[in-house]
Chain A
Amino acid sequence: MATALTRKDFVSDQEVRWCPGCGDYAILAAVQKAMPEFGIPRENIVFISGIGCSSRFPYYMDTYGFHTIHGRAPAIATGLKVTRPDLDVWVVTGDGDGLSIGGNHLIHVLRRNVDLRILLFNNKIYGLTKGQYSPTSEIGKVTKSTPLGSIDYPFNPIKVALGAHAAFVARSIDVEQKHLGEMLKRSHDHRGAAFLEILQNCNIFNDGAFNDLSDKTIKADHQLVLEHGKPLVFGKNRDKGIRMNGMRPEVVAIGNGLSVDDLVVHDEKNLSLAFMLANFEPPMPTPIGVFYAEERPTYDALINKQLADAKAKQGPGDLRKLLNRGDVWDVN
């Protein structure tokens, strides 16, 4: 396509069927807005999803799309990307889809570093099945399936991703359109498996789950925006920061002899720091941004290199020669 694409080019003709007010709308809008900036022809873009409210996503994008089965999108995307490295492949999944039924596929796709952009919409609930607790729900969560409160400890998606040795790990929030746009761009520009957790409000079954992070009046005190090379400062008046006290991070107030220079400086290339930040849960501020970014050979590139090398070494496949290989004999 010669002419530049616009947001509208990515809007499909399908009626969007999420509940009014669902955070998924904001994410869809951010993705449709970001797409034209990537300059990739529409026909080379594929969205692959599993099952869940979030996984309806591909129907609304006017690209190639595949709404598959519960939890398996990473595996399906792997088969596609490996054989079609020319495509820009996106995976859309939910906290149940990606971390419960599909947890195995998610960790392996991250470990292998298949060149995919993986958007995990985390609403800490099963939306589509009408409100059961999910593997990211906080302990004690009261839902239809846990009337006395859930008793299993939740996953922290960022820690799961880092634990699986993902090469790119980031977090954003549905309502933070600008930040989300930036994170989409970073994910897109990264070569390899890019894991982006997007905190998403399910206003029907888990409304306000991220209120602290989205309510304009208080969010600045709860969000810790990560920027490479910059000190870890937060707060409405940007008067708080993260300092190391020996081996322990702590929140400190800036002033009274403490300056920005005493704070931890974010380094996306520091895996230990990424793990430390991933551990930040309330009352610590919640980090958003890129936790970790590392360039590492991608699985699809490596497998295609093996194929190319084999071809260079053995020549293109010759079926007749292959069939005649080994101990053959003639009967006349």
Chain B
Amino acid sequence: MAVPPESAAKAAAPQASGEPALRKEHTRRDHVVIRFAGDSGDGMQLAGMQFTTESALAGNDIATLPDFPAEIRAPAGTLAGVSGFQLNFSSSEIFTSGDEPEVMVAMNPAALKANLGDLAPNAVIIVDKEAFTESNLKRAGYESNPLTDGSLEKFQVFQVEVSRLTTLALHGMGLNNRAAFRCRNLFVLGMVSWLYQRPIESTIAWLEGRFKKNPELFEANSRALKAGFNFGETTEMFASSYEIAPAKIQPGRYRNITGNSATALGFLAAAVKSGRPLFLGSYPITPASDVLHELSTFKNFPVYTFQAEDEIAGVSSAVGAAFGGAIAITTTSGPGMNLKAEAVGLAVKTELPLIITDIQRAGPSTGMPTKPEQADLLMAMYGRHGESPLPIIAAATPSDCFDCAYEAVRIALKYMTPVVLLTDGQLANSSEPWVLPDPDKLPEIKVELRTDPKGFMPYIRDEETLSRPWAVPGTPGLEHRIGGLSSENLTGNISYSPANNELMVRTRSRKIAGVTREIPATQVFGDQGGGDLAILAWGSTYGSVREAVKQARDHGQSVSHVHLRYLNPLPADLGDTLRRFKKVMVVEMNLGQLIKMIRADYLIDAFGFNKVQGRPFKVSEIVNRINCALEG
């Protein structure tokens, strides 16, 4: 939450370090929400990401939210081409990337215009003054220059000649204007790094790696970075820098991680743990492609990645790999999810382990490809023909994607079933610090390939889990045929017997229902024994809901939060848990999907709070809704 500038305590002494004492004032803040905004080509994602790393290394808790257009390069200077990166960094635990930026860097008029409405009152705006040319103003749809027409009165505006100063810093290197222009983001990063007293060494090291083959560009970028830093130090413009003390967080080794990276690593870890090769069959689609990209770099583990001709081939190839004994994954987003349905049904029917990852985006149809939504839940539940149940797991935060991907594999193998893993575009690209897991302490994943021909039948079942044996081609004596046609219990031979069909349908359904034994007791954040209001949520709404509930509880309201990881089957104790509350509100980025399941399963008269703007819930929106709910 935005801390009003008045409440910021002044720190007496500059940061202890070997450096000479800073001349300038040094103000302590609890946390800051900053947004870097510019044209798609201005390198704002990169500046944001590096600033995130600097802040993480400084010990802050962090949460990020990149926001980029679907177009790769919309016409320069237009609103459609604005790309943003928001970071909340804090000296205490945080759950979201922040409702309203208190600081914004705007590299051109379009970036200013597109983001102004989101800013906190009295926010700091740093602009590249020189980018506010007549033609740029026109492209952004400004009639007059906001830097001079008084329309930014409510904000603290700092006009910096970023372009000129960057060019100056590169003087004598003989770079052309275009190359110099492209270093502006590093200048800005340097300036902001000074403003928040972030050491820039990690960025310099990073630049070194990135431009290993181009020492000239390394030189240019690091010069721009240092010039920005020194500019902050010397300019009259900034009277003070800020200090955000390290957060008290759980001890351990950390790295900053996005949801997509965590998903890829979770799959990899599960494969390593199971001792089986990993196979990913996938077709590129935003925002899922990065999982394909990342897994493609782990070939030595071994990891097979197959960029298929379409999503159908992506999932089908994974079904084939599962038949052969690999940890089989497919990744996609909504439109691809539709295409995969029939092949997933085949995996349900033939009881093969497979993980279908849906990194949800705003739909229907192409919708808003780079924006998150949670409207694929009922498709994951019911979007196949016939009785086709499968477990569904949803990740709550970027780092939780690791645990959920891992768990999805574990359950798929233990129950010989396809599993749907749901994340979304927000989790995919946003990041947070992650305590590195100890590979030795990850839950066990046991794979027992069937080898004994004695008594083997394709659909003979484990007594507890009801899972069938994984009997892979190449095993002597186990030759058998499976397929999509209704099959006889045990033998798997084609069978059209009505009673047998019902037996098999019910058995598969019981098998999936039995996955509840994997689900730990439901955790209630707040009043375990019940109270006035429970908020039930799933997926990426976690941060906003948790922060809102915390705030409400700090105000003495009886509000609790239940967050679901397992969406099918639902936890066995969920109905009883929810019944202990007078009211149940289901918060979702759709028009009400989980709520339908809750009402149908438990006959609980829950009500929904929904948003489908391709943007996460703001904490304040949920706080307001809580107030209404408790009044009404």
Contact = CB atoms under 8 A, between A and B. Distances in A.
Nearest to B247: A331
A69 B256 CA distance: 42
Contacts of B467: none
B318 interface: yes
Contacts of B326: 79, 83
Given A66-B482, A75-B308, A316 B300 contact: yes
B302 A48 contact: no
Interface string A49-84: 001000000110111111111001001111111111
A219 interface: no
Contacts of A58: 481, 483
A3 interface: no
B320 A315 contact: no
A80 B478 contact: no
A69 B300 contact: no
A222 B320 CA distance: 40
Interface string A283-323: 00000000000000000000100110011011111011011
Question: Interface range on chain A: under 10, 10 to 19, 20 to 34, or 35 or more?
Answer: 35 or more
A239 interface: no
Interface stretch (B93-101, B140-148, B265-273, B504-512): B265-273
Contact of B494 (A59, A64, A66): A59
Interface stretch (B83-91, B222-230, B359-367, B468-476): B468-476
B346 A69 contact: yes
Contact of A319 (B272, B308, B319, B484): B272
A307 B325 CA distance: 17
A64 B304 CA distance: 23
Contact of B479 (A64, A86, A87, A307): A64
Interface string B194-216: 00000000100010000000000
A1 interface: yes
Interface stretch (B32-40, B52-60, B117-125, B155-163): B52-60
B304 A83 contact: yes
Contact of B320 (A61, A75, A311, A319): A75
A331 to B, nearest CB: 5
A12 interface: yes
A80 B316 contact: no
A62 B479 contact: yes
B98 to A, nearest CB: 22
Contacts of B298: 317, 322
A104 interface: yes
Interface in A35-53: 41-46, 48, 51
A64 B473 contact: yes
Interface residues of B, number: 71
B343 interface: yes
B437 A307 contact: no
A311 B321 contact: no
Interface string B323-335: 1111010000000
A261 interface: no
B306 A68 contact: no
Given A83-B277, A303-B304, A327-B202, A319 B439 contact: yes
Of B57, B269, B321, B473, most A-chain CB atoms within 10 Å: B473
Interface in A67-112: 67-69, 72, 75-84, 86-87, 104-105, 108
A83 B253 contact: no
Contact of B323 (A43, A76, A324): A76
Interface string A1-43: 1000000000010100000000000000000000000000111
Interface string B246-283: 10011111111000000001001100100001010100
Nearest to A14: B493
Given A62-B479, A105-B309, A331-B252, A79 B320 contact: yes
A332 B299 contact: no
A14 B494 contact: yes
B429 to A, nearest CB: 17
B435 to A, nearest CB: 8
B382 interface: no
Contacts of A66: 320, 323, 350, 481-483
A310 B322 CA distance: 23
Contacts of A76: 316-317, 319-320, 323
Contact of B328 (A43, A79, A306, A332): A79
B299 A43 contact: no
A43 B317 contact: no
Nearest to B57: A329
B481 to A, nearest CB: 4
B474 A44 contact: yes
A79 B316 contact: yes
Contacts of A43: 473-479
B439 A323 contact: yes
B313 interface: yes
B599 interface: no
A330 B252 contact: yes
A326 interface: yes
A247 interface: no
Contacts of A78: 306, 308, 313, 317, 320
A328 interface: yes
A294 B320 CA distance: 27
Given A67-B485, A72-B316, A306-B299, A79 B324 contact: yes
A182 B206 CA distance: 61
Given A64-B481, A319-B269, A331-B250, A84 B304 contact: no
Nearest to A73: B316
A65 B56 CA distance: 53
B312 interface: yes
A14 to B, nearest CB: 6
A83 B279 contact: yes
Nearest to B471: A64
A130 B138 CA distance: 65
A61 B480 CA distance: 9
A317 B304 CA distance: 13
A242 B185 CA distance: 70
B321 A83 contact: yes
Nearest to A108: B309
A313 B300 CA distance: 8
B273 to A, nearest CB: 8
A312 B345 CA distance: 39
B321 A327 contact: no
B310 interface: yes
A326 B279 contact: no
28 contacts: A1-B476, A43-B476, A44-B473, A61-B481, A65-B482, A67-B484, A68-B483, A79-B319, A79-B320, A79-B321, A79-B322, A79-B326, A79-B328, A80-B320, A81-B320, A82-B304, A83-B321, A83-B325, A86-B474, A317-B298, A319-B272, A323-B265, A324-B436, A326-B255, A327-B56, A327-B255, A329-B253, A331-B250
Given A59-B494, A319-B439, A324-B436, 5 more contacts: A41-B476, A69-B343, A79-B318, A82-B321, A310-B300
List of 10 A-B pairs having minimum Cβ-Cβ separation, nearest first: A67-B483, A317-B301, A79-B320, A79-B317, A65-B481, A75-B316, A76-B320, A75-B313, A80-B320, A79-B321
